[in-house]
Structure 1
Amino acid sequence: MSAQMDLEQNSKVKAKKPKKESSLWGDALSRILKSKTSFIGLMIILLLIVVAVLAPVLAPYHPIDDGSIIDRYQPPSAEHWLGTDQLGRDILSRIIYGARISIKIGVIAVGIAFVVGTLLGGIAGYIGRWVDNVIMRIIDIMMAFPSILLAIAMVAILGKSLTNAMIAVGIVGVPQFARIVRSTVLSIKEKEFVESARASGVKNGRILMRHVLPNCMAPIIVQATLSVGTAILDAAGLSFLGLGAQGATPEWGVMLSDGRAALQTSPWVITFPGLAIFLVVLGFNLFGDGLRDALDPRLKQ
């Protein structure tokens, strides 16, 4: 009788399917899709990418060449959905092409901050001692200045151009990445797997690049997502001041600067570029906040 009961229990155990272990990024994706705010942010980001990729197809006019003084300051109509600017250029077309520049700014500026900040923070946290003091004191000096003021000073030194503006915005974002990476490295370098690699004779550089920094990716990716919106906003501010994109470049900050003289008579000239900046920054902030909550192990059920 007991043998029969054991057979039945064994058959029940075998019938039960083993549960699949969920990964960190799989859980994060499911939480993002369940959260309304982060899902809205993700949809805004995807819309920006689609508009940037399909700009030649979606734009009804050329953003620079298809303009006429006769059509200047035309209000929104069936022919020009968002109106025209001071040179008769279609605002909708310029906003669509401006999405490409915004993605370029976000990728390059955040990429600079990501690489430089990760390396500096990793070296400071792993080596410690006087190296840590020197690097972090430089970071503290950079953080003592307002970010936009430091970016203006750097562009004034490098010269007025969109490329220099992206470099300046990227360097200004280095301190945030460096501090996050340093604090994470300080806790990871004491883990058993790092001690084991060190005891096996693995060089410090290899330990840092192969074992320590890969385990810092979650907070770094969250910071990178949040920094894209800030980079786009700072670059637009520099262009508005005449320090970023120059001439007829269809950049949203330039459009705001060109249209401020007609704010009272033709408000649509700056309203729609301003809304584009607002939506993109909002999208990255919503998605970044949702990603931060999704990757927080304390919120994992």
Structure 2
Amino acid sequence: MAAIPQTSPTPPEVPEQKTTATPKSSSLWLDAFSRLIRSKTSFIGLLIILLLLVVAAMAPVVATHDPTDQQLLDRYLAPSGDHWLGTDELGRDIYSRIVYGTRISIQIGLIAVGISAVIGILLGGIAGYFGRWIDQIIMRVIDILMAFPSILLAIALVAVLGASLTNAMIAIGIVGVPQFARIVRSTVLSVKETEYIEAARAIGAKNNRILFQHVLPNCLAPIIVQATLSIGTAILDAAGLSFLGLGAQPPSPEWGAMLSDGRAALQTAPWVVAFPGLAIFLVVLGFNLFGDGLRDALDPRLKQ
């Protein structure tokens, strides 16, 4: 009887598993940048700011005349090919003065907001982290500063310090401290209760190290937004002080001072005040649009 050949059983077919690629995790800043460039309003604000920076950096090339050169025979000339935006009461080219005035505006915005940010971050961080009587003292001083209108407080400070562009920037910087202090304090109050801060305390890290290396770096998003919005406000306040004669002094081509010098000829030569006013409007609008877009982009609730 012939032997029946034995065949090994074939293993059951295992269905092929499809591997799904895990999405790459992106950081908060990359997500914020992608949302920022997709926003039309913030993109327009960014273009205005970049234009301001380019004009300020290339002022000697962009300007057509010396901003302080006086030509009394060319007083109140209307806009023409020789003077694109006309001339003022001393025959100075308005276009060139506006171009050089962008440097002053950037200087005012950066220095004034820098003063506000440094003092406000320190006060808000200390008040929010340590709390108790330190928080009460700091915040009551902040409340007193916020009780005064900002422009009136700036005028009072400049009146005490003396009328000059430097003192105007110091005054505007002091006036802007409460906004930074309150924002940083509220952020620190929420950040200091997180798990990694508790872990840092558990391993014996000192309070100074926790505050400056762990707490404040996680408050950067609202600080950056507030700084961007404050630059436009600082430029506007400085123009107001210069218009009152408390800021930049002649012959500085500051936009607020140009408005003050040309107000006497508002009806006969409106271009003397129209173009400096338009420059202030565009710069403040640019920083406000960019700041609003940056605030929306850095909002973690919008992250999908």
TM-score range, shorter chain: over 0.9
1:31-82 alpha-carbon deviations (Å, 9 max, x no partner): 11111111100000000000000001000011112x2000010000011010
Match among 271, 274, 287 for residue 277 of structure 2: 274
Matches of 2:73 and 2:31 in 1, distance apart? 56
| 2:88 paired with 1:85 | yes
Name 1:51's counterpart in structure 2.
55
Q: How far is the alpha carbon of 1:2 from its aligned partner?
A: 7.4
Name 1:191's counterpart in structure 2.
194
Match among 257, 260, 265 for residue 263 of structure 2: 260
Q: Decide whether aligned partners of structure 1 residues 74 and 121 sit closer, same or farther in structure 2, where only a CA change above 3 A counts.
A: same
1:206-253 alpha-carbon deviations (Å, 9 max, x no partner): 100000000000011000000000000000000000000001001000
Q: Decide whether aligned partners of structure 1 residues 4 and 104 sit closer, same or farther in structure 2, where only a CA change above 3 A counts.
A: farther
One-letter identity of the residue aligned with 1:31? R
Q: How far is the alpha carbon of 1:4 from its aligned partner?
A: 5.3
Structure 1 stretches of 4+ moved >4 Å = 1-4
- RMSD, aligned CA: 1.2
Name 1:245's counterpart in structure 2.
248
1:146-203 alpha-carbon deviations (Å, 9 max, x no partner): 0000000000111111000001001100000000000010111111111111111111
| 2:37 paired with 1:30 | no
Q: How far is the alpha carbon of 1:3 from its aligned partner?
A: 7.0
Q: Decide whether aligned partners of structure 1 residues 159 and 3 sit closer, same or farther in structure 2, where only a CA change above 3 A counts.
A: farther
Q: How does 1:277-292 map to 2 (within 5 A)?
A: 277-292=280-295
Matches of 1:3 and 1:191 in 2, distance apart? 52
Task: Answer 1 or 2: which has greater helix percent.
Answer: 1
One-letter identity of the residue aligned with 1:232? I
| 2:131 paired with 1:128 | yes
Matches of 1:74 and 1:3 in 2, distance apart? 95
Could you say what secondary structure the match of 1:149 adopts? Answer: helix
Provide the identity percentage.
75
| 2:221 paired with 1:218 | yes
One-letter identity of the residue aligned with 1:172? V
Matches of 1:34 and 1:162 in 2, distance apart? 38
The answer for unaligned runs of 5 or more in structure 1 is none
Matches of 1:131 and 1:274 in 2, distance apart? 44
Matches of 2:279 and 2:142 in 1, distance apart? 32
Q: How does 1:101-140 map to 2 (within 5 A)?
A: 101-140=104-143
Matches of 2:212 and 2:84 in 1, distance apart? 51
1:80-99 alpha-carbon deviations (Å, 9 max, x no partner): 01000011010000000000
Name 1:228's counterpart in structure 2.
231
Match among 180, 184, 203 for residue 181 of structure 1: 184
Matches of 2:118 and 2:72 in 1, distance apart? 46
Could you say what secondary structure the match of 1:250 adopts? Answer: coil
| 2:275 paired with 1:294 | no
Q: How far is the alpha carbon of 1:141 from its aligned partner?
A: 0.1
One-letter identity of the residue aligned with 1:103? I
Could you say what secondary structure the match of 1:233 adopts? Answer: helix
Matches of 2:22 and 2:297 in 1, distance apart? 25
1:118-148 alpha-carbon deviations (Å, 9 max, x no partner): 0000000000000000000000000000000
- Calculate the TM-score normalised by the size of structure 2: 0.95
Match among 42, 45, 52 for residue 46 of structure 2: 42
One-letter identity of the residue aligned with 1:33? I
Matches of 2:286 and 2:95 in 1, distance apart? 20
- Calculate the TM-score normalised by the size of structure 1: 0.96
Q: Which has the larger radius of gyration?
A: 2
Name 2:7's counterpart in structure 1.
none
